[in-house]
Amino acid sequence: MHYLTRRFSFSASHRLNSTALDAKANACTYGLCENIHGHNYRLEVTVRGAIDPKTGFFCNVMDLTEVVKRLVVDPCDHHYLNDLPLFHGVITTMENIASRIWGAIEPELKKRGMSLSEVLVAETDEHWARIRAE
């Protein structure tokens, strides 16, 4: 099995706040992240497949780029993530962002013959979250 990864980046703001917690618990859980702040997010999307001998690859990276840019990068870049339909109803942690991105792009990639393997979302160079196909 072969894997191909395309890296994207976007700048966006968000805040972490849970309606399931009271004000004190929110402050305790999220600290400064409860305030609106921004990140230069890094997004890495990995697809997998078997090489087609006719083309020498298993996915066209231009197709992958088009799908992720249209469904994720363009709507997110320079926006407040908490207000976007893509993240409606979830706390905009890296884990939830990765899950929603997976849900948004997976069907579209599948239509184009790509099998999604991993979505990685990094807020900084020091920490990130991934979701993988089982």
Catalytic residue among 14, 33, 37, 127: 33
- Kindly state the smallest distance separating residue 112's Cβ from Ni ion, in Å: 32
C-alpha span between 101 and 96 (Å, rounded): 8
* CA dihedral of 79, 81, 86, 92, whole degrees rounded to 10: 160
Active-site residue 66, yes or no?
A: no
CA within 13 Å, CB half, 107: 4
- Kindly state the smallest distance separating residue 104's Cβ from Ni ion, in Å: 20
Active-site residue 76, yes or no?
A: no
C-alpha span between 72 and 44 (Å, rounded): 12
Catalytic residue among 14, 59, 76, 123: 123
CA within 13 Å, CB half, 111: 6
**In this complex, which beta carbon is closest to Ni ion, that of residue 45 or of residue 97?**
97
**In this complex, which beta carbon is closest to Ni ion, that of residue 48 or of residue 79?**
79
**In this complex, which beta carbon is closest to Ni ion, that of residue 54 or of residue 127?**
127
Contact residues toward Ni ion (CB under 5 A) are 33
Residues serving a catalytic function are: 33, 78, 123
